[in-house]
Amino acid sequence: MSRRFGLVGGTVVTEDGVQASDVLIESGRIESVGQIPPSADIEKVDVRGKIVIPGGVDVHTHLDTPFMGAVTSDDHASASRAAAVGGTTTYVDYAFQRPGERLPEVLGRWAGRAGGRSAIDFSFHLAVTSPYPDLVADMALVVADGVTSFKVFMAYKGLAMLDDGQLFSILDESSRLGATLCVHAENGHVIDVLAERLVRAGRTGPLAHMLSRPPETEVEAVRRAIALANMADAPIYFVHLSTAGAVAAVAEAQRAGRPVSGETCTHYLLLDEDLYHAPGFEAAKYVVSPPLRGREHREQLWRGLREGTLGVVSSDHCPFCMDGQKTLGADDFRRIPNGAPGIEHRVPLLYGHGVRPGRLSLERFVDVVSTEPARRFGLYPTKGVIRRGSDADLVVLDPQAASVVLAQTMTQNCDYTPFERWHVPGRVDAVYLRGELIARRGRFVGRQDAGKFLARRPA
């Protein structure tokens, strides 16, 4: 690819701050950030009045993934188109181990699902659900293949949950390998007791999902995992944090100098637990784990992002259709597949409802949707930043325009979105992957097989 062109006249968010600048692109890379002389014989794309940011990096997705009796409704093809439309140019998907499967096999299976089908660049984490005697040796093999992060679950008993000893061993080994351990922190034992009680009391609808997972089930698990990480002298990264207590626990560990970090997700920042009171089975749309929380939690999540306690906002894109998938749990909330779609709207929602109302600065927004996820997961500075030599993954945002989220017109493959009819200030106008235009005002215009697998470095 040898096209040389410049995005001229925009407001560019770089590591040095927000500046009026041009961006020169050559052969898929950023050639320079500065002033392109008007006389220069270069193709120019006028982005006056627009904001130019690095492409979004979504480090938490579940594509084409069998989970709780269903397979997520987006595969790597459809989700990557949706990501592109919404300003995300890289994702890191969770490859899920089947019981008895060795890690290199899981990786092979996942590479087969994604290879040649993704429109944007991608990588994998490996979710360890079923430890086996040679696990430690196999962890080293997948790290050598560029999969430098693992996930473990402290919930989903009988499906994915590990015990504390297993968690400790994997923390220990990840640390030795320089890999990042991502932890789903909820107390699965307590959740199962509460859920059983609710069902026995006839509470079988989606509201009971929230009731069975009170904030303490997350906070206790976060504190326990931090204690285990301290014992193993290992770094730890918490996925999808939802509570004020979890933010406080992470902040406390950070103040004590521990290498503890965490992410939250778009839905925990913007949606309220009141949604579980929707009539009938409607609330199944919001059955995600951990569940949505109240306002006091959201405020602390925003604060955690502003202050740097939390470094990343991911989508936890895990879509299941209402029709035929969520309905698996029509008679028992415990069988509703957990998850919701979100890859398409993460960047626009964080801009429109994070930056515009003043919850996040423009620089911090770029940090949490792009730079820090790239840094944390070994993709920086190829990804996550506008600087000379980085991939020309660029998003042009129009701050004057706006959009409305509608399931009917979205690109994600799901029959609903939890953000239906949300008005979003700002609009993703153009998206470039390595210098190629891949999306234009809500339309995917790229190549379906343009995405490359990214082998990642240990942190």
Contact 7, 23 (CB under 8 A): yes
Rounded to a whole number of angstroms, the minimum distance from the CB of residue 92 to ligand URP is 13
SS3 letters across the chain: CCCEEEEEEEEEEECCEEEEEEEEEECCEEEEEECCCCCCCCEEEECCCCEEEECEEEEEECCCCEECCEECCCCHHHHHHHHHHCCEEEEEEEEECCCCCCHHHHHHHHHHHHCCCCCCEEEEEEECCCCCCCHHHHHHHHHHCCCCEEEEECCCCCCCECCHHHHHHHHHHHHHHCCEEEEECCCHHHHHHHHHHHHHCCCCCCHHHHHCCCHHHHHHHHHHHHHHHHHHCCCEEECCCCCHHHHHHHHHHHHCCCCEEEEEEHHHHHCEHHHHHCCCCHHHHHCCCCCCECHHHHHHHHHHHHHCCCCEEECCECCCCCCCCHHHHCCCHHHCCCCECCCCCHHHHHHHHHHCCCCCCHHHHHHHHHHHHHHHCCCCCCCCCCCCCCECCEEEEEEEEEEECCCCCCCCCCCCCCCCCCEEEEEEEEEEECCEEEEECCEECCCCCCCCECCCCCC
From residue 38 to residue 67, what is the string marking binding to ligand URP with x (rule CB under 6 A)?
Answer: ------------------------x-----
Residue 184 binds ligand URP (CB under 6 A): yes
Closest approach of ligand URP to the CB of residue 91, in Å = 14
Q: Which of 119, 128, 318, 369 binds ligand URP (CB under 6 A)?
A: 318
Could you give the C-alpha distances from 274 to 82, 301, 341, in angstroms and in order?
28, 18, 19
Query: 72 or 175, CB closer to ligand URP?
Result: 72
Rule CB under 6 A: is residue 316 a binding residue for ligand URP?
yes
Furthest C-alpha separation in the chain:
76
Does 314 bind ligand URP (CB under 6 A)? Our answer is: no
- CA 88/CA 348 separation, integer angstroms: 10
Look at residue 63 and give the partner it binds from Zn ion, ligand URP, none, a contact being a CB closer than 5 to 8 Å depending on partner kind.
Answer: none
Of these partners, ligand URP, Zn ion, none, which one is at the site of residue 338 (CB under 5 to 8 Å by kind)? ligand URP
- State the binding partner of 434 from ligand URP, Zn ion, none, CB within 5 to 8 A by kind: none
- Using CB under 5 A as the binding rule, whether residue 346 contacts Zn ion is answered as no
Residues 160-189, interacting with Zn ion (CB under 5 A): 184
For residue 105, the minimal CB distance to ligand URP (Å) is 21
Q: Is 316 in the site for Zn ion (CB under 5 A)?
A: yes
- 11 makes contact, choosing from ligand URP, Zn ion, none, with CB < 5 to 8 Å by partner type, with none
Count of residues in contact with ligand URP, rule CB under 6 A:
9
**Residues in 263-302 that interact with ligand URP by CB under 6 A:** 288-289
Structure tokens at 168: 């400790």
Q: Which of ligand URP, Zn ion, none is residue 359 near (CB under 5 to 8 Å by kind)?
A: none
Q: How far is the CB of 53 from ligand URP (least distance, A)?
A: 26
What is the x/- site pattern for Zn ion, positions 318-337, by CB under 5 A? --------------------
| Interacting residues with ligand URP between 328 and 357 (CB under 6 A) | 338-339
* 305 binding ligand URP? (CB under 6 A): no
C-beta closer to ligand URP: residue 318 or 349: 318
Which positions from 382 to 401 touch ligand URP by CB under 6 A, shown as an x/- string?
--------------------
Q: Least distance from C-beta 246 to ligand URP, angstroms?
A: 14
Q: Which is nearer to Zn ion, 14 or 123 (CB)?
A: 123
Q: Per-residue x/- marks for ligand URP, 227-246, CB under 6 A? A: -------------x------
Instruction: Quote the tokens at residue 439.
Output: 């999306």
> Which does residue 223 touch among ligand URP, Zn ion, none (CB within 5 to 8 A, set by kind)?
none
How many Cα atoms occupy the beta-carbon half-sphere of 115 within 13 Å? 6
Closest distance of CB 62 from Zn ion, Å: 5
Rounded to whole angstroms, the Cα distance separating 339 from 65 reads 11
**Measured from the CB atom, is 50 or 76 closer to Zn ion?**
76
Nearer to Zn ion, 22 or 316 (CB): 316
Nearer to Zn ion, 183 or 430 (CB): 183
Which residue is nearest to ligand URP, using beta carbons? 338
Q: Tokens for 48, please give them.
A: 């006056």
Distance from C-alpha of 423 to C-alpha of 402, rounded to nearest angstrom: 7
286 or 422: whose CB is closer to ligand URP?
A: 286
Is residue 73 close enough to count as binding ligand URP by CB under 6 A?
Answer: no
Query: Which residues form the interface with Zn ion (CB under 5 A)?
Result: 184, 316
